[in-house]
Every structure is written in structure tokens, then in C-alpha cells.
């Protein structure tokens, strides 16, 4: 299989006023990658994701998606933010919310077709919410809402899926099913998942980018264990392919 780069970030720098968040970021994501972006809170993970989507403009550097400027390429990217800005008192059903994913590349005044409905129902089934399609979104639990927003991102049939802390609020049983779903989706799309949970990465993801202002490491999870430990300033336990690993450097107190 001849896989191609689908996301390229070159010499990215970004600051909120005088606070530098990202510095000299260079990252290439290949087709069918399943990449975990990890790092401490405040390390720039979410900012990096927003720059990849064109939601934030870097102070310098270039972003290309699918060999196109980010403004064009992002039409093929599904996104599930960590915090969804949504009025849960608005009278919309779960199916209505997922159908919003079908509006991404449509013209104003678009009317949902039978195909739109079928795709939305399929995605609801993938996240285990088919029986909730007619329930008001505001009546779902937090974890169920998160699953609905994942279905909305999938409904646009993206070539790349970006997820920011996607398992927050999901019960442990669904978390297992969720990662099984991601591995299935990875057969035909690229997945980038932001998390600070190292155990999730070590158990489910083989490829990581360690971000704390800079990219300190980009490669296999197993080979990156020492970079992870250094970035978190403490020993880190990983289980990669059922083989325990540990970096034994002493804890550094700030």
C-alpha cells in the first residue's frame, strides 16, 4: 500500500499574546496513521489540533491538508472537540444533531435526503445510540452526548478524524467499545487523538507525538517511553503489546 502524507505542519509557532504555546512545530501525518498526541495539561495539544483545522492561525509556519491549504482541506476532516459549545435546552433530537454532520459540504438551504438519513442512522448505530435517535439531546447523559457528537463527526464521512479527549464522561465499558470502533475506522481513515492519559495511549495506540510546547518525540509508542517520562518529569509505566515497560528516572519536583 502506497500511503501518502495527508497533514503537514511546517515551522509552526503560536502564542496567546505574550505566552508562547507552540514553538517550531514540524509534523507529518500519513494516510491511515492512528496517532496519539500526548503531553501535560497546558502543553499545547488542543492548540495544535485547532491549528490543524484552521480554527487558529499560527503566527508563522504553514499547514496543508491533503496537499491543499487548510481552509480547503479541512472539509474532509471530522472534529470532536473536548468541550462542545451547544445549547442543550434547544429542542433537537439526537438524530437531528448527527444530521448536522451532513451539512459540512452542502449549500445553504440543503434538505436532508434519504441517503443523509441512512448515513446518520448508521453512525448512531456505530456509537451504540440507535435506540436514542428520537430522544432530545438535552435528555442524554454526558457520556451519551459525547457519543452523539462522535457520530456527528463520522456522519460527514471524513478522511481524517480528530478527537480531543474523546472518552471524557464515557463509562469504562463503552471506552473499550469506543477504541475497538476507532481501530475499525482506522482501516479507511486517519485518526488523531489528543489525550493526557498515557495508559490509554500505551494500551491502544502504537504511534505518538509528545507535545509540550515543542514536539519532543514522534514515532512508535514503545520507542518513545523515555521521551514520555522526561516530558512528564516522573517515571511512567506503559504496557505496549502486553509487555510492561518502565522508565526509571527519578521524579523531578518543580
In a domain, 211, yes or no: no
* Number of neighbouring beta carbons within 10 Å of residue 223: 11
- pLDDT beyond 60 at 251: no
Residue where the block lists cell 518513545: 224
In a domain, 140, yes or no: yes
How many domains are contained in the chain? 1
- What is the residue-wise DSSP string for 2-17? ---EEEEEEEEEEEET
Residue 60's pLDDT band (cuts 50, 70, 90): very high
Evaluate whether 14 touches 62 at the Cβ level (below 8 Å).
no
* Number of neighbouring beta carbons within 10 Å of residue 42: 13
* Number of neighbouring beta carbons within 10 Å of residue 4: 9
Q: What CATH number corresponds to the domain at position 129?
A: 3.40.50.300
Domain that holds residue 122: 73-158
Most confidently modeled of 47-61, 90-104, 178-192? 47-61
In a domain, 108, yes or no: yes
In a domain, 116, yes or no: yes
- pLDDT beyond 60 at 22: yes
Residue 106's pLDDT band (cuts 50, 70, 90): low
pLDDT for 202 equals 74
Q: Could you give the 3-state DSSP secondary structure of residue 141? A: coil
In a domain, 30, yes or no: no
Cell of 85: 459549545
Element (H, E) at 80: strand 77-80
Our measurement of the distance from residue 215's CA atom to the centroid of its chain's CA atoms, rounded to an integer in Å, reads: 17
| pLDDT tens figures, 113-155 | 999 999 999 999 999 999 999 999 989 888 888 889 899 999 9
Q: Which residue has the higher pLDDT, 185 or 224?
A: 185
pLDDT for 126 equals 92
Buried b (16+ CB within 10 A) or exposed e, 65-84: bbeeebeebbebbbbbbeee
Buried b (16+ CB within 10 A) or exposed e, 90-113: eebbbbbbbbbbbebeeeeeeebe
- 24 vs 10: CA distance, rounded Å: 8
In a domain, 147, yes or no: yes
- What is the residue-wise DSSP string for 148-175? HHHHHHHHT--SEEEEESTTTT--HHHH
Residue positions counted in the chain: 254
Q: What is the chain's mean pLDDT, rounded? A: 84
| pLDDT tens figures, 191-249 | 999 987 777 777 788 899 989 899 988 998 878 766 666 665 544 444 333 333 333 33
pLDDT for 161 equals 96
In a domain, 141, yes or no: yes
pTM reported for the whole predicted model: 0.84
In a domain, 212, yes or no: no
Amino acid at each position: 500500500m502506497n500511503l501518502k502524507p495527508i497533514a503537514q505542519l511546517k515551522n509552526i509557532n503560536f502564542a496567546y499574546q505574550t505566552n508562547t504555546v507552540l514553538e517550531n512545530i514540524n509534523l507529518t501525518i500519513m494516510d491511515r496513521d492512528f496517532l496519539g498526541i500526548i503531553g501535560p495539561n497546558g502543553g499545547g495539544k488542543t492548540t495544535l489540533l485547532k491549528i490543524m483545522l484552521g480554527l487558529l492561525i499560527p503566527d508563522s509556519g504553514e499547514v496543508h491538508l491533503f496537499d491543499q491549504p487548510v481552509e480547503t482541506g479541512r472539509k474532509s476532516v471530522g472534529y470532536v472537540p473536548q468541550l462542545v459549545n451547544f445549547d442543550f435546552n434547544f429542542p433537537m433530537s439526537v438524530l437531528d444533531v448527527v444530521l448536522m454532520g451532513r451539512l459540512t459540504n452542502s449549500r445553504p438551504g440543503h434538505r436532508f435526503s434519504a441517503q443523509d438519513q441512512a448515513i446518520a442512522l448508521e453512525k448512531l448505530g456505530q456509537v451504540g445510540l440507535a435506540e436514542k435517535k428520537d430522544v432530545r439531546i438535552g435528555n442524554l447523559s454526558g457520556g451519551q452526548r459525547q457519543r452523539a457528537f462522535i457520530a456527528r463527526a463520522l456522519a460527514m464521512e471524513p478522511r481524517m478524524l480528530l478527537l480531543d479527549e474523546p472518552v471524557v464522561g464515557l463509562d469504562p465499558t463503552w471506552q473499550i467499545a469506543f477504541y475497538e470502533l476507532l481501530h475499525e475506522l482506522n482501516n479507511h481513515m486517519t485518526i488523531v487523538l489528543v489525550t493526557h492519559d498515557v495508559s490509554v495511549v500505551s494500551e491502544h495506540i502504537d504511534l505518538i507525538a509528545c507535545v509540550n510546547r515543542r514536539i519532543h518525540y514522534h514515532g512508535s509508542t514503545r520507542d518513545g517511553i523515555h521521551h514520555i517520562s522526561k516530558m512528564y518529569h516522573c517515571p511512567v509505566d506503559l504496557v505496549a503489546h502486553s509487555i510492561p515497560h518502565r522508565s526509571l528516572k527519578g521524579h523531578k519536583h518543580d
